[in-house]
Structure 1
């Protein structure tokens, strides 16, 4: 009798999700179905897959699904942050009010639970960006171009104000100059 493969663990001790096959269908809490594409990476507590709307077909995977075992906790926290702060309608309203072209954070598109081979997983669906900051950092000999630093700073400040407005129910007329001492 063959031994079972040892459970995969991340460097931080969290249990990693077992790899799910390309084409696996996941259904979120709104009953929307998502089809997994190839794995595109592994985070500190789960696997990251490219994905598409299950009804779309084709070869493009414009979304990302992060998956972790239900016994882990980090994705649960991340998922609730996105549910509160990154709904597409709220983000579009915020961008319009602030005359922003980009937002700098992936939109929350769905989340749910999925069972595979008797193991229960939690997942979140988000829009997919082109590259991540770490890859960009490495591609530029471990530094960022000045323009990138400014773009990231603007996005961070914008996200900070969205979070403040949404979570503390403050006026939408907040003036960022009032907060210069905190940055």
Structure 2
């Protein structure tokens, strides 16, 4: 024995200094202790500045291929941004609160997903924080790529009107 300790592989960190989560296996079940729900993780749909975003469904449902009605944002527990975001959604994005606000303001669209749950989850010895939100359709970038990197003028106008109506209802 040479007396040297084995080096442990360093965690992946982004340029912003946040630790990135290891990939979570499709089918992993996470337990929401507050809302008493279970969620099944689906395929990853993206990586953000401090974590990963997965498609998800209720534990009891069986989604057809790509029909996952929720997203789960996951970050390592020692990161902080999702903690702040989670508390915003808990206070401001419950389905009943959003519906009531939209009726009061006579809005047809709010542009903010509804909150469905949150919690902590241990996976392969790591502790993660997660947030469950309503899943919207395809993101704008994917639609842009699917359109051959060019939107027709009517589409650009529709996107612009939706953005303005969300900013100035």
Aligned to 1:155: 166
Aligned to 1:180: none
Aligned to 1:114: 121
Matched residue of 1:145: which SS?
Answer: helix
What is the TM-score with the length of structure 1 in the denominator? 0.77
What per-residue deviation string (whole Å, max 9, x for no partner) do you get for residues 12-69 of structure 1?
A: 2210011110000011121200000001110000010000010112332111000000
Aligned pair 1:46/2:57, yes or no?
A: no
The match for 1:21 among 17, 20, 25 is 25
Aligned to 1:129: 136
Deviation, structure 1 residue 111: 0.5
Aligned to 1:84: 91
Deviation, structure 1 residue 97: 1.7
Any unmatched runs of 5+ in structure 1?
159-183
Equivalent pairs counted in the alignment come to: 157
What per-residue deviation string (whole Å, max 9, x for no partner) do you get for residues 112-147 of structure 1?
A: 110111111000000111122444566554998122
Give the CA RMSD over aligned residues: 2.3
- Structure 1: which 4+ aligned runs deviate by more than 3 Å? 2-6, 133-144
